[in-house]
């Protein structure tokens, strides 16, 4: 492939938060949420990196080649034929880190979309499937990155093609009545730690129940929100992680005992609720959570990562 030609003007991208699993859809279901990080990047003639971060993670994120947005951009540039000599990046982070709301997926997808937009004919050099495959390799699984890329509800998977693992996804309609409530605790949980708590096997009956609920979930999200409570019940992963986030599980159990479609968002510890309620019902749910959690009322993001025109 010929070396790419880079655009001189800065490019801005916004990318939504995401909730993986949505209960039973472990490592496959994703739901984009209307909480967005923004990144602005520009190619520089001089070698080097100029990185500035504000908002979430501003005090802890790297300002070198190990910055996750930059790593994703470099992967994208190399896929398209070569990286530029210099790069300036400005990040305004809003998505909470380490809370199960797809902050790393947002950084990866945002970086790849930025890289593609900074290359002339970038869409031809790296289509969405290629971008999703690169993003999944960086993230380790395709659920969050698929939702961050396309928006809405997604079902993602990986398959072998000519000996290479390729990531794919399909979108699923979301009933416009469905809204989300994110109950976000002050503590974080590393995804790697949460994954280590999962067993190698589960009982056959639980596997059957989980696959059934995953199937119902597609229908519930698209046009039967009255089925969300049963559809979001999980048997595969949530209960095994309880010791890592006891307060979050106490809230999930409390809400589900009241018939609320509550579940752990991704690897946690955020608790996500899907509902069609009015403001008074939302206020009642907030009172049920107490002061331990910060409540964010969120729409479902109907679009994924996108270039913002100035």
- Give the pLDDT band of residue 237 (cuts 50, 70, 90): confident
- Cα–Cα nearest to 110, from 158, 75, 61, 59: 75
Please compute the mean of the pLDDT values over residues 153-163 and round it to a whole number: 95
| Cα 136 from Cα 108, distance rounded (Å) | 9
Q: For the chain, give percent helix, strand, coil, nearest 5.
A: 35, 30, 35
48 strand-pairing partners:
86
**Structure-token pair, residue 279:** 């403001």
Q: Can you give the pLDDT at residue 310? A: 62
pLDDT score of 125 more than 90: yes
Do residues 131 and 113 lie in contact, with contact meaning Cβ atoms separated by under 8 Å?
Answer: yes
pLDDT score of 170 more than 80: yes
- Give the pLDDT band of residue 279 (cuts 50, 70, 90): confident
Q: Can you give the pLDDT at residue 277? A: 84
- Give the pLDDT band of residue 290 (cuts 50, 70, 90): confident
| Cα 4 from Cα 123, distance rounded (Å) | 12
Residue-wise pLDDT tens digits, 62-100: 999 999 999 999 999 999 999 999 999 999 999 999 999
Determine the distance from the C-alpha atom of residue 209 to the mean position of all C-alpha atoms in its chain, rounded to a whole number.
Answer: 25
Higher pLDDT, 195 or 236: 236
- Give the pLDDT band of residue 288 (cuts 50, 70, 90): confident
- Give the pLDDT band of residue 255 (cuts 50, 70, 90): very high
Angle 111-99-273 (CA atoms, 0-180°, nearest 5)? 110
Give percent of the chain above pLDDT 90.
82
Q: Which residues contact 184 (CB under 8 A, 6 or more apart)?
A: 96, 99, 101, 270, 293, 294, 295, 296
- CA-based max dimension of the chain: 61
- Give the pLDDT band of residue 42 (cuts 50, 70, 90): very high
**Structure-token pair, residue 230:** 């049963």
Where do the domains of the chain lie, and which CATH numbers do they carry? 11-172+301-308 (3.30.230.10), 179-298 (3.30.70.890)
Other beta carbons within 10 angstroms of residue 124's beta carbon come to: 10
**First-to-final CA distance of the chain:** 31
Do residues 182 and 34 lie in contact, with contact meaning Cβ atoms separated by under 8 Å?
Answer: no
Handedness of CA 222, 228, 232, 233 (dihedral sign): negative
Find the Cα–Cα–Cα–Cα dihedral 268, 269, 275, 280, rounded to 10°.
-170
Minimum mean pLDDT range among 173-177, 223-227, 306-310 = 306-310
Q: Can you give the pLDDT at residue 194? A: 72
| Cα 251 from Cα 289, distance rounded (Å) | 7
- Highest mean pLDDT, choosing among 201-210, 273-282, 297-306: 297-306
Residue-wise pLDDT tens digits, 91-109: 999 999 999 999 999 999 9
**Structure-token pair, residue 15:** 């990318």
pLDDT score of 138 more than 80: yes
């Amino acid at each position: 492939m010929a070396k790419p030609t880079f655009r001189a003007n800065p490019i801005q991208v916004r990318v939504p938060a995401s909730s993986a699993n949505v209960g039973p859809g472990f490592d496959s279901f994703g739901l984009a949420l209307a909480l967005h990080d923004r990144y602005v990047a520009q190619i520089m003639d001089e070698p080097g990196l100029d990185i500035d971060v504000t908002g979430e993670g501003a005090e802890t994120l790297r300002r070198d080649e190990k910055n996750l947005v930059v790593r994703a951009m470099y992967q994208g540039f190399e896929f398209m034929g070569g990286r530029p000599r210099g790069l300036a990046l400005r990040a305004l982070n809003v998505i909470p880190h380490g809370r199960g709301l797809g902050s790393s997926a947002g950084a990866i997808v945002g970086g790849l979309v930025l890289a593609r937009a900074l290359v002339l004919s970038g869409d031809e050099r790296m289509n969405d499937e290629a971008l999703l495959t690169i993003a999944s390799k960086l993230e380790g699984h395709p659920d969050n990155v698929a939702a961050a890329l396309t928006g809405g509800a997604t079902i993602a998977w990986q398959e072998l093609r000519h000996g290479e693992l390729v990531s794919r996804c399909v979108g699923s309609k979301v009933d416009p009545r469905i809204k989300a409530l994110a109950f976000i605790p002050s503590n974080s949980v590393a995804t790697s730690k949460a994954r280590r708590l999962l067993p190698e096997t589960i009982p056959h009956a639980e596997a059957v129940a989980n696959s059934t609920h995953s199937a119902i979930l597609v229908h519930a999200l698209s046009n039967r929100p009255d089925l969300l409570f049963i559809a979001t019940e999980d048997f595969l992963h949530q209960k095994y992680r309880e010791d890592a986030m006891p307060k979050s599980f106490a809230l999930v159990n409390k809400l589900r005992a009241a018939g609320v479609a509550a579940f752990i968002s991704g690897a946690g510890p955020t608790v996500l609720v899907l509902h069609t309620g009015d403001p008074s019902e939302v206020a009642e749910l907030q009172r049920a959570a107490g002061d331990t959690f910060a409540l964010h009322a969120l729409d479902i993001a109907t679009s994924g990562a996108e270039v913002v025109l100035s």
